[in-house]
Amino acid sequence: MVAGPWDDPTIQAYVREWRANLQRCVKAVHPRCNVDQYGRMYGTTNSGGRIDLNYEPDNIAASVAPPSREYYYCLLNTPLGNQFYPLTEQQYVEQRQAGVSPAFLTACTP
């Protein structure tokens, strides 16, 4: 297995913080929607549209990231942008590593 940032418990905590912020921002706009473990929105939008997720990221070699860490690997290696939260997970992690308090990273995208 190749060691990477996805193995660092501190970075894993930052990724979970980012996902919680994304979830909060999505819910502020679409209360009946959620964010899955990979940062993808799903559920029923305010206009009644339905977003379903029918697949999970796969084809990640166990030698790179075992199943228990695929979640972090995917988030750190896929530059997911989002219209509801201004930071990608990579940007969020970089800000936190630079010492920025999570209290300053809570604003949703208008």
Kindly state whether residue 106 falls inside one of the protein's structural domains.
Answer: no
Query: pLDDT > 90: what percent of the chain?
Result: 29
Where b means 16+ CB within 10 Å and e means fewer, 1-36 reads eeeebbebeebbebbebbbebbbebbbeebeebebe
What stretches in the chain show pLDDT beneath 70?
A: 1-4, 6, 55-82, 110
Q: How many domains does the chain have?
A: 1
pLDDT at residue 100 in the model: 96
Q: What residues make up the domain containing 13? A: 5-96
Kindly state whether residue 23 falls inside one of the protein's structural domains.
Answer: yes
pTM: 0.75
Kindly state whether residue 33 falls inside one of the protein's structural domains.
Answer: yes
Kindly state whether residue 107 falls inside one of the protein's structural domains.
Answer: no
